[in-house]
């Protein structure tokens, strides 16, 4: 039954993939709405996994904090957005503890919010934004696909059996190769004064960080005692299951973009 979920995965990807890519390509309001819907959806999944209801005051602070942080970033104030995330996370933690509940629900705010702000800021670059966001997203997606296909096909020793029994070293290697190859293709579509080795290095860095995010999400689900974060995407589970790599790779890509400077592509 290695490929039992392949059909559902392909159908979901065929339906949702082109829509997401169009939003990434054109940016603007469509892109902001895509990130906003995804972020709020992930927050709701986190709230439910942490044992809270969406209407609980602590949970509302998490959702409000993510929205406020993204709004500040859209208004060209990304640092203010990050500050708002910290403020609302503190309020959420205080409300949860005040009600005699675990404050772990507040951790969903930096987990989702920092990535949302990073993805908005990255695409907002009028010169390199489109190229950077496509490089990031397609590299992570290709890594996911490569890891899934190679891991299911070859199998072999487990990567981290105590955290995620299904992941293998062969899958991790396949994911890195797939991500690097996709990075080379994207870099070819957006020519820049760079070398193939630099493109591969950046793609590999993002691939390793994305796979680490995948393992982190597995560890979180193990902590909460759930198999999937939700059932939003048939064949994939919840939004957190599907976007876990971007939650870690997005902020790293933003830091890299900040290092090279605005108007310069990541590679």
- What digits encode the pLDDT tens for the residues 143-176? 999 999 999 889 899 999 989 988 999 999 999 9
| Banded pLDDT at 99 (limits 50, 70, 90) | very high
pLDDT value of position 101: 93
Q: Are residues 98 and 136 in the same domain?
A: no
Q: Are residues 133 and 117 in the same domain?
A: no
Q: Are residues 162 and 110 in the same domain?
A: no
Using the 3D structure, point to which of 124, 143, 166 is the last residue of a domain. Answer: 124
Give CA–CA dist 176/206, Å, rounded: 9
pLDDT value of position 236: 62
Q: Are residues 119 and 179 in the same domain?
A: no
High-pLDDT (> 70) share of the chain, %: 97
Q: Are residues 138 and 120 in the same domain?
A: no
Q: Are residues 141 and 249 in the same domain?
A: yes
pLDDT value of position 66: 97
Q: Are residues 168 and 200 in the same domain?
A: yes
Q: Which residue, chain included where needed, has tokens 């949860």?
A: 96
Q: Are residues 114 and 132 in the same domain?
A: no
Which domain range does residue 35 map to? Answer: 28-124
Is the confidence at residue 57, as pLDDT, over 80? yes
Q: Are residues 204 and 102 in the same domain?
A: no
Q: Are residues 157 and 258 in the same domain?
A: yes
Give CA–CA dist 92/147, Å, rounded: 36
Is the confidence at residue 231, as pLDDT, over 90? no
pLDDT value of position 235: 61
User: Over the chain, what is the mean pLDDT?
Assistant: 93
Sorted by sequence, the CB contacts under 8 Å of residue 11 that are 6+ apart come out as 234, 235
pLDDT value of position 2: 61
Least confident segment among 37-46, 108-117, 200-209, 226-235: 226-235
Q: Are residues 211 and 151 in the same domain?
A: yes
Q: Are residues 75 and 174 in the same domain?
A: no
In a domain, 2, yes or no: no
Q: How far is CA 214 from CA 98, 147, 220, 226, in A?
A: 32, 11, 10, 15
User: What's the domain count of the chain?
Assistant: 2
């Amino acid at each position: 039954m290695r490929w039992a979920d392949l059909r559902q995965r392909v159908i979901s990807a065929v339906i949702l993939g082109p829509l997401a890519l169009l939003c990434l390509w054109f940016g603007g309001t469509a892109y902001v709405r895509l990130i906003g819907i995804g972020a709020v959806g992930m927050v709701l999944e986190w709230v439910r996994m942490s044992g809270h209801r969406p209407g609980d005051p602590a949970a509302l602070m998490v959702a409000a904090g993510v929205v406020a942080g993204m709004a500040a970033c859209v208004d060209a104030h990304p640092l203010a957005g990050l500050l708002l995330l910290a403020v609302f996370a503190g309020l959420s933690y205080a409300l949860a503890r005040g009600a005699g509940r675990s404050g772990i629900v507040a951790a969903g705010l930096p987990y989702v919010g920092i990535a949302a702000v990073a993805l908005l800021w990255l695409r907002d670059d009028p010169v390199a934004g489109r190229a950077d966001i496509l490089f990031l997203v397609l590299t992570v997606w290709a890594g996911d696909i490569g890891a899934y296909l190679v891991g299911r096909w070859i199998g072999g020793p487990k990567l981290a059996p105590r955290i995620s029994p299904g992941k293998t070293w062969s899958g991790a290697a396949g994911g890195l190769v797939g991500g690097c190859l996709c990075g080379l293709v994207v870099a070819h579509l957006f020519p820049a004064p760079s070398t193939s080795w630099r493109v591969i290095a950046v793609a590999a860095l993002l691939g390793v960080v994305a796979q680490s995010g995948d393992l982190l999400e597995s560890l979180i689900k193990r902590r909460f005692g759930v198999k999937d974060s939700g059932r939003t995407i048939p064949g994939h589970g919840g939004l957190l299951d599907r976007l876990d790599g971007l939650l870690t790779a997005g902020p790293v890509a933003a830091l890299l973009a900040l290092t090279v400077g605005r108007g310069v592509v990541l590679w």
